[in-house]
Amino acid sequence: MAKIPDKPFNAWLEAVIHDVYDLNPQTIAFASKLEDGSVYTAYYMANATDKTVLAHNIYTDAILDVITANADVIKAAIDELEEEGEEDD
């Protein structure tokens, strides 16, 4: 096997491979955004249902990232709505 060139993600990828190996997965998905903006995907034993479940998990992670990044703005909007509701009473 050819030596893998040094890349900034090598340690991360190696750790992920070890984690996955230890977890005995039924299916594996790999997705990578490339420099030109396209996405490379590869699957091991993933049917349409598996891909849908995996995509949903990625989507949920993205939603959580957005909520976490905007928690202060969301809290301020909720507080403002609550204040407006109290004024209406």
Looking up tokens 């594996």 gives 28
Question: Could you give the residue ranges of the DSSP H alpha helices within 1-89?
Answer: 10-23, 48-69, 71-88
Which residues contact residue 40 at a Cβ distance below 8 angstroms, ignoring those fewer than 6 apart?
30, 31, 32, 34
pLDDT at 83 over 90: no
**pTM over 0.85, yes/no:** no
* Model pLDDT for residues 15-43, shown as the tens digit of each residue: 999 999 999 999 999 999 999 999 999 99
Least confident segment among 10-19, 70-79, 80-89 = 80-89
Cα→Cα distances 6→14, 19, 25, 51, Å = 12, 21, 27, 30
The structural domains of the chain, with segments of one domain joined by +, span 9-45, 47-89
